[in-house]
Each structure stands twice: as C-alpha cells, then as structure tokens.
A = this chain, B = another copy of it.
Amino acid sequence: MSLGAFLMETGHHIAAWRHPDTHAAGGLDFTHYAQLARIAERAKFDAIFFADSVSVRDTHLPSLSRTARADHFEPLTLLSALSVVTDRIGLIATVSTSFNEPYNVARKFASLDHLSGGRSGWNLVTSSTETEAHNFSLDRHLDHAVRYERAKEFYDVVAGLWDSWEDDAFVRDKASGIYFDADKLHVLGHRGKHFSVRGPLNVARSPQGWPVVVQAGASEAGRELAAQTAEVIFVAHQTLDEAQQFYRDVKGRLARYGRAPEHLKIMPGIFPVIGKTQQEAHDKFDALQELIDPAVGLALLSKMSGGIDLSQYPVDGPVPELPETNGGKSRQRLLLDLARRDNLTIRDLYLRIAGARGHQQVIGTPQSIADQLQQWFEEEGADGFNIMSPWLPGGLSEFVDTVVPELQRRGLFRTEYAGRTLREHLGLPRPVNRHAQKAPERGELAAAAS
C-alpha cells in the first residue's frame, strides 16, 4: 500500500487555521513544512504532495478573508527547500500545463530530481478557474477539451526533453577533455499544434529517468490522459463502489496504450479524524466543524461546484440542479450525486465537503480506519491513499502514530524504505531512454564511419 501526505497550510479542513493546536501563519513558515515533511518521512510515507492554484480567488472577500487559502508558498521552491531536510520521501508538486512553458517545467522537475537524489514528482493539472486565466493574459479560460489537448502535447514535450540525454552521456573525462559524448545528446525538434520546442534540455537525465507523473482529473478526458501518461492518480471517492468502478475503468484503459495495470497507482484522498473511541473522533470533528463561518461554507460549496453561486438559495433547502459549466466537470457530478444520495440541504452539503472537500471522511478509531483502508486496498478500490489531515501537524502526527503502526502490524505498509527514489517506493519502473534503445544502430554507424 502506498501513502502520500497531502500538505495544505494548516490542514485540509477549511477552518483548520482556527484550531487551537495549529500555527495560523504556518502557510508561509518553512519550519512548519519541514516539521510536516519529517513526520511523514518518519512514518515511511511514499511522498508528500502539494496542490496548487495560480490565483487568489477573491470573488467573495467576506469568505476568503476568513480562510487561510490566500497566501502560501509556490510548491516547487518549497519542495526544493524541503529536499534538503529530508532524505528518502518523494516530493510531488502541482504545476499547470495551461500557464507554463514545457521547457521550464521539464527543467524544474529534472533539477529537483537531481537535487533530491531521485525523489521528484509532477502533478500535471490543466487548471480550471477563470481567476487563474486572468493572471495570464487570458480573458477566459481555455475550453475543457482544448486544455486536455494542450496538456497531452505539453506532456509529450516534457517527456521528450527528459530523454534529451542518455543516462551515460556525461563522461567528464579531464584527461581527454571530453565532457559529454555528443552521440548521446538528442534534439527533440517538436513542432505541434500548441508548442514548438527544439531542445535539448539543459539538465542531464535525472536519477529517476523521468520524474514520476501524477494526475488528478477524473472526467472522461482526464481518465484518458491518465491512462496514456499518469503513473499515479489522486482521486476523490465517497464510496467503495465508486472507487472500484473508477479503478476498473482506468486500469482497463491501460492495455490500449501498451501499459501494465501495476504501472499506474490509484490513490484516493482520505480525510481521517482519529479518536481512541468512535465518540472521541466524532467530537474532534464536530469541534472543527463549529469553527466554520457560514460565509466560508457557502463560498466553498460554490467554488467546489464549478463557480455557481448558491447564496441565492435557502441554505436549509435542497441543493438545486447545477447546470454544467466550463469548470471541473467531474467535481460537479460528484457533488450532485452526494447530495441526492444522502438527501442533503445546502448547509448539510457545505458542512460535508468543508472537511474533506469531496474526498472521503473517515472518522473513527485507528483500527476502524485501518479496516477501511485495508478493505479498499484488498478489494481493488485503491493502490494506496493520499492522507488529507484535517489539521496540521497534529492530525498527521496522530495518523502516523496510531494508524500507520496498525497498517504495519497487518503487513499492509512498509516499516522501512527499501529504495531511495520515489519510483522505487511506488514500485514503478524507471523509463528506458527512447534513444538508448537505438544504441546498436549507432554502434554500426560509428563502425561504418571509421
């Protein structure tokens, strides 16, 4: 079983910053993140993970100004610094394909992979909000289909750049003066619909060959892109049945692209609230929920539903039908299904997602939480989990000190790292350089030329 630690400022719960045990200014305090990374590494987690967006969603200041979501580190600068205070744990950052250039992205993740000795991972997202587009000289966001088309080409360029150099290209022989073997340098020469990128990358091939590619899209286009390109999927499910359907569907798509099912790890998000008893766990959760300002709850729901304003509806009435927008389609469907299934009011729904925000809340004892993770893992709902601690560092420490030992006792989770790279932790193969496979040809050419 794989475990990731999703780290978000003072915690995943929307009111976590008001929790008495959190450091309210933690979002821009490096020592806070260093502590979190060390806790996760002590528990032998596969990776720490940072989400990202490239805007402040300031459309509703009364709610925004009551959350800790407006100021945080840029994930790659933060992860580069965290690489120094950790030794084994994977380092996954979110970077959007809509607002960056593939050369810069290929280079930064390769650089982080070298810095960290093979621990970097890229969570490829297409971004989905208009507020982000407005920071990048776009009047409106690209359409969903165009975003995914661009993302696929972006990925192809990045992966191609990561193969610019064969693994043994740099000989650095002081005596002869040969620094690299020019035959092992490869120009990409990509000319496509969205990008023209010549290459080569100005970073040697990195310890993992390619940094691990992660995705989080669950729409049809997202699943298809993941089947072609992803090695890890972070996903939100509410029930085992949903999780199993998704797992079967995505794993079933892999053969079409010549990929084995075990080369894509599916890791649903889990929002764990842990108590010595069930009652204690629920009490802890209720205490957090009480810290939510109603303005914050409503605005969060509006955001999670793809930009629709629900403040016009009665907060204790039913959730209205939501027209499909240009935002994240899979999240809209997920929220509607949830409200229908459990017959929720708007207030019920915002309280429900305010904690886990579409991911599964697991409120219970270490044993009951381990039971559920075990069931999802053994019954093909998940290859692992992304742990979204309600508040930090306390929520993560509790998970590490109580649930992880229970998983280890059951033989479900490692007690020591076996490898050094993120790929090794996840059980993913190191990609062979596409050009290295042509080595015999090159040998023949060299022989013919001499």
Contact = CB atoms under 8 A, between A and B. Distances in A.
Contacts of A51: none
* Identical subunits present: 2
Interface in A150-205: 164-165, 170, 172, 174, 177-182, 185, 187, 194-204
Interface string A386-408: 00000000000000000000000
A313 interface: no
A196 B137 CA distance: 4
A202 B55 contact: yes
A189 to B, nearest CB: 9
B83 A81 contact: yes
A58 interface: yes
Nearest to A120: B77
A179 B292 CA distance: 13
Main secondary structure of the interface of A (DSSP, over half): loop
A56 B131 contact: no
Given A66-B177, A81-B84, A174-B17, A54 B115 contact: no
Across the A-B interface, the 3 shortest Cβ-Cβ residue pairs = A80-B80, A74-B111, A24-B172
Interface residues of A, number: 78
A25 interface: yes
Contact of A28 (B30, B76, B179, B204): B204
A53 interface: yes
Interface stretch (A99-107, A260-268, A314-322): A99-107
7 contacts: A67-B179, A71-B180, A73-B203, A78-B80, A131-B198, A134-B198, A139-B196
Given A65-B181, A85-B84, A187 B73 contact: no
Contact of A197 (B73, B83, B136, B165): B136
Contact of A115 (B70, B81, B136, B165): B81
Nearest to A184: B65
Given A78-B115, A174-B18, A65 B182 contact: yes
Contact of A77 (B15, B24, B108): B108
Given A54-B107, A56-B200, A71-B203, 11 more contacts: A17-B172, A70-B185, A72-B202, A72-B203, A74-B107, A74-B108, A77-B112, A78-B111, A80-B80, A84-B85, A137-B194
B196 A115 contact: no
**Residue of A103, A179, A199 most packed against chain B (CB within 10 A):** A179
A221 interface: no
Contacts of A255: none
Given A66-B179, A180-B65, A197-B136, A71 B115 contact: no
Interface in A111-136: 111-112, 114-115, 131, 134-136
